[in-house]
A = this chain, B = another copy of it.
Amino acid sequence: MMLAAFSASAQQRNNVAPSFAGAVEDFKPNATNQLGHQYPMVNSQGAVRAQLRAPQANSVMLDIGGVRYEMVKDENGVWTGTSAPQDVGFHYYQLNVDGASVPDPGSIYFFGAGRWGSGIEIPSADMDFWQVKNVPQGSIVEKYYWSKATESMRHCYVYLPAEYDKNPNKKYPVLYLQHGNAENEQGWSAQGHTGQILDNLIAAGKAVPFIVVMDYGQSQNIHLVGQYAPAQPAQPAQPGQRAAGPDAFQTVLLVDIIPMVEKEYRVIADAQHRAMAGLSMGGGQTRRITLANPTMFAYVGMFSGGVMSVEDINGAAGFKQTNKVVFMSSGSKENPRVMEAAESLRGIGMNAVGYISEGTAHEWHTWRRSLYEFAQLLFK
């Protein structure tokens, strides 16, 4: 019985590696640990060391960066294992106990990779820009609102700059900022540290104060109803609902989110004071939505989310005349085309900016840096 279970699972154990043997022994508790927990730890190489007490387990592994590192049990039933060095920045990870993938009880939890689970922060030389500092603090507002397009209450987060409450007659520009595939509306504040990046930039005079709206954009989970439902359902639907097509997020953005924001907050409601950006899938949505609504957003940001071409822009009447900035970024480990794409757009007179995040891949540190750069270009 036990052997059968082992041999069945052995076939699934791809990318299994022994605990990393070359680690420098300068591990420290991680910034994202639960209060009072020593593990997980990270060392100066960016290696991650996890620990779990599981006295009766047959196998415990640390699953990070696509590799499962074997952990080793001591005489007290405590398993310890170390990963190879990871890129700087934030990574999702999990533990695997006898075939069960579970969150590490030592870490706090984030929504990404389609689940609430563990995350870890590999310190970077430039991490200061997203730390909580004693500067004037904006706030992250959790807001529910009624959605006509889905006939349900939806949920978003809104960053309001520190000065917002002090200027009851002032109106502000807005950035609509979207997460990636299998993430949600909390990603940009929790993993992305949007509040800290903006507070620090505004305090330093590097960005003008603006509002940021972070909503949920996973279109296959957005069930449009009534007049908003696509005519041809893509999938079987729940009773009374049609299945969502790929543009369901565009519908809720235009029908619900932007009107709600422009009603609930003091917003300058024109294209020159409206920006859209997103990471990965959210960058693709930004590209499609801003091209399909070419006179609606003057500022466009795609972070690891593809590029816009000259043909795209020439095919979207009014886009070029409306646009003030097209920003396209990528991690240096993503084999990016963003610099050439920006050069092409500059060739037709666009203010296009390419940005490469050095030493990072398709992960949150790329996108934090992208927001930091993009925010400085907005509404000026």
Contacts and interface: CB of A to CB of B under 8 A. Distances in A.
Interface of A: 2, 5-6, 8-9, 34-36, 52-60, 77, 95, 97-103, 105, 108-109, 114-117, 132-134, 137, 139-146, 153, 158, 165, 168-169, 189, 195, 221, 264-266
A141 to B, nearest CB: 5
B140 A9 contact: no
Contacts of A55: 5, 8-9, 98-99
A146 B132 CA distance: 10
A197 to B, nearest CB: 13
A140 B137 contact: no
A56 B6 contact: yes
Copies of this subunit = 2
Given A56-B98, A98-B98, A137-B143, 8 more contacts: A2-B58, A8-B77, A54-B99, A57-B58, A57-B98, A95-B102, A132-B144, A144-B195
Contacts of A98: 54-58, 97-98
A58 B59 contact: no
A347 B114 CA distance: 58
Contact of A56 (B59, B101, B137, B144): B59
Contacts of A52: 100, 102
Given A54-B98, A97-B102, A35 B221 contact: yes
A279 to B, nearest CB: 19
B132 A105 contact: no
A195 to B, nearest CB: 8
A143 B6 CA distance: 49
B153 A143 contact: no
Contacts of A195: 142, 144
A225 B169 CA distance: 39
Contacts of A77: 5, 8-9, 99
14 contacts: A5-B55, A9-B56, A36-B114, A52-B102, A54-B98, A54-B100, A55-B99, A97-B102, A108-B116, A132-B153, A133-B153, A142-B189, A165-B265, A168-B168
A221 B53 CA distance: 25
A186 to B, nearest CB: 11
